Amino acid sequence: MLAWTPDSKGFVISEREAPAEPNALYLVIIATGEKRRLTSPPAGFNGDSDPAFSPDGTILSFVRMRDLASQELCRLDLSPEFKPIGEPKALTDQMPFRFRHFFGHAWRADAREIIASVGHDSAVPDLWRVPIDDSRKSKRLESVGGGGNNPAVSPSARRLAYRVSKSIASSWIIEDSGASTSRRLPNGFLARRGWTICARSPPTEIELPSDHTVRTTLTSGSAKATAPTSSC
């Protein structure tokens, strides 16, 4: 993912200079083609990704990943020329759970909070309001329910759009008779012979809570059959 600067004169990308190095964030200036390094994650980390500018352009938020089970939402203060001021600081290190992983985040228009999709301890992600000055005061958006991800905040209205992912798991059994046939099993049935296969085709929704927290479905996907695979 990339993020445009508020003045639209550049954008931030995530890439690595060598295969053994972690991903870092770079600012690309359109007029000159200059690529300016913004972050330098520690050795051994997967690196930095998912950049987003605060509305006034003074802070760049991003996700720093040590590994899949250890991620942190961070902030980097910027000068008016989008040059780093100091080192990145963790934004979510005081949230009330460990082993955080992120599925998108977006700034509120007042730049005092970030709406972040956060999963933890193998749970489905939830949308959280994360204050940029004290993550101990983070609050889960209860009206959204579970599974909210990829939030987007309207800059001119108090509205939030987000995606809800739902999974449909099906069990299949392949008859070991030399014939290339398979049949679907009822949900919850565990095959004792052959192979049990999971096929996931998650329908998705994008919902828009109004000012009164009434959710309106904008789009809805439908499940589609997919070929069974050999693992879940």
Question: How many percent of the chain have pLDDT more than 70?
Answer: 70
pLDDT greater than 60 at residue 8: yes
pLDDT classification of 157: cutoffs 50, 70, 90: low
Cα–Cα dist 36/185, whole Å: 55
In a domain? residue 229: yes
Residues 85-91 have a mean pLDDT of 94
In a domain? residue 207: yes
In a domain? residue 1: no
Which of 3-17, 86-100, 133-147, 165-179 is predicted with the least confidence, judged by mean pLDDT?
165-179
Domain count, the chain: 1
Phi, psi of 221, deg, nearest 5: -95, 170
pLDDT classification of 69: cutoffs 50, 70, 90: confident
pLDDT greater than 60 at residue 165: yes
pLDDT greater than 60 at residue 98: yes
Residues 39-51 have a mean pLDDT of 94
In a domain? residue 43: no
Cα–Cα dist 164/108, whole Å: 20
Q: Tell me, what's the pLDDT at 172?
A: 54
Q: Tell me, what's the pLDDT at 212?
A: 40
Find the largest Cα–Cα distance for the chain.
69
In a domain? residue 175: yes
Q: What's the number of CA atoms in the CB half-sphere (13 Å) around residue 126?
A: 19
Q: Tell me, what's the pLDDT at 84?
A: 96
Highest-confidence segment of 77-91, 92-106, 185-199: 77-91
Q: Are 91 and 84 in contact (CB under 8 A)?
A: no
In a domain? residue 115: no
Nearest residue to 118 (alpha-carbon basis) of 136, 109, 130, 132 = 130
Q: Between these two residues, 200 and 102, which has the higher pLDDT value?
A: 102
Q: Tell me, what's the pLDDT at 170?
A: 55
Question: How many percent of the chain have pLDDT more than 90?
Answer: 44
- Structural domain harbouring 203: 166-232
Tell me the per-residue pLDDT of 171-213, one tens digit each, with 9 for 90 and over.
Answer: 555 555 555 554 544 544 433 333 333 333 333 333 444 444 4
Q: Tell me, what's the pLDDT at 192?
A: 37
In a domain? residue 210: yes
Residues 7-32 have a mean pLDDT of 94
Residues 1-19 have a mean pLDDT of 93
Q: Tell me, what's the pLDDT at 189?
A: 40
Cα–Cα dist 189/178, whole Å: 23
In a domain? residue 67: no
